[in-house]
A and B are shown apart, each in its own frame.
Chain A
Amino acid sequence: MLQRLLTFSDFNTNIVLLGSVLLGCACGVVGTFTVLRGRSLMADALAHAALPGVCIAFLITGSRELGPLLAGALAFGVLGVLAVMGISRSSRVKEDAAIALVLSTTFGLGVALLSIVQRSPDAAHAGLEGFIFGKAASMVVRDVQLIAVVAGLVVITCGIFYRQFKVLCFDREFAHSAGLRVQLLDLLLMGLVCVCTVVALPAVGLVLAVAMLTIPAVAARCWSDRLGIMAIIAAVVGAMSGAIGSGISAMKPKLSAGPVITLVAALIFIASLLCAPRRGLIAGWWRKRALRNKISLQNILRAIFEVQEAQQAALVPVCDVALKRAWTPAELDSLLRHAVRRGLVSREADRVALSPEGRKQAQAIVRTHRLWEVYLVTHAAIATDHVDRDADTIEHVLPAEIIAELEARLREDGRLPAVVIPDSPHAVAAHSRAGVHE
Chain B
Amino acid sequence: MIPAALPNAAIAIDVHDLTVAYHRKPVLWDVDVQVPVGKLIAIVGPNGAGKSTLLKAMLGLVPLASGRVEIFGRSIREARALVGYVPQRESVDWDFPIDAMGVVTMGTYAQLGWLRRVGQPQRERALAALKQVGMSDFAQRQIGQLSGGQQQRVFLARALAQDAALYLMDEPFAGVDAATERAILDVLRTMRDAGKTVIAVHHDLQTVPQYFDHVIMLNMRLVAAGPTNDVFTQENLQKTYGGRLNLLEQAAEAVRRAGT
Contacts and interface: CB of A to CB of B under 8 A. Distances in A.
Contact of B98 (A92, A227, A405): A227
Interface residues of B, number: 33
Contacts of B102: 166, 227
Interface in B67-101: 80-81, 83, 85, 87, 91-93, 96-99
Given A163-B118, A170-B106, A225-B142, A230 B87 contact: no
B225 interface: no
B61 A36 contact: no
Contact of B110 (A169, A178, A221, A405): A178
Nearest to A405: B179
Interface in A215-243: 221, 224-227, 230
A377 to B, nearest CB: 19
B84 to A, nearest CB: 8
A425 to B, nearest CB: 24
B118 A180 contact: no
A171 interface: yes
B109 interface: yes
Contacts of B114: 164
Nearest to B59: A177
Given A160-B115, A178-B162, A180-B110, A227 B85 contact: no
B223 interface: no
B98 A173 contact: no
Contacts of A174: 85, 87, 106, 158
Contact of B109 (A160, A163, A169, A226): A163
Contact of B97 (A175, A177, A226): A226
Nearest to B178: A405
B95 to A, nearest CB: 9
Contact of B106 (A171, A179, A405): A171
A55 B100 CA distance: 49
Residues of A in contact with B, size category: 20 to 34
Interface in A241-284: none
B59 to A, nearest CB: 5
Contacts, number: 74
Contact of A170 (B59, B85, B96, B118): B96
Contacts of A180: 109-110
B15 interface: no
A174 B105 CA distance: 13
Interface-centre pick from A163, A169, A174, A221 (highest chain B CB count, 10 A): A174
A176 interface: yes
B248 to A, nearest CB: 23
Contacts of B23: 92
Given A164-B114, A171-B106, A178 B98 contact: no
A167 interface: yes
B218 to A, nearest CB: 20
A173 B85 CA distance: 9
Given A163-B112, A221-B97, A230-B97, 14 more contacts: A36-B97, A92-B23, A163-B117, A164-B114, A170-B103, A173-B87, A174-B85, A174-B87, A174-B106, A178-B80, A178-B110, A225-B99, A226-B97, A227-B97
5 contacts: A170-B92, A173-B87, A177-B80, A178-B85, A178-B162
* A-B pairs, 5 with minimum CB distance: A179-B80, A177-B85, A178-B110, A225-B142, A177-B59
Interface of A: 36, 92, 160, 163-164, 166-167, 169-171, 173-180, 221, 224-227, 230, 405
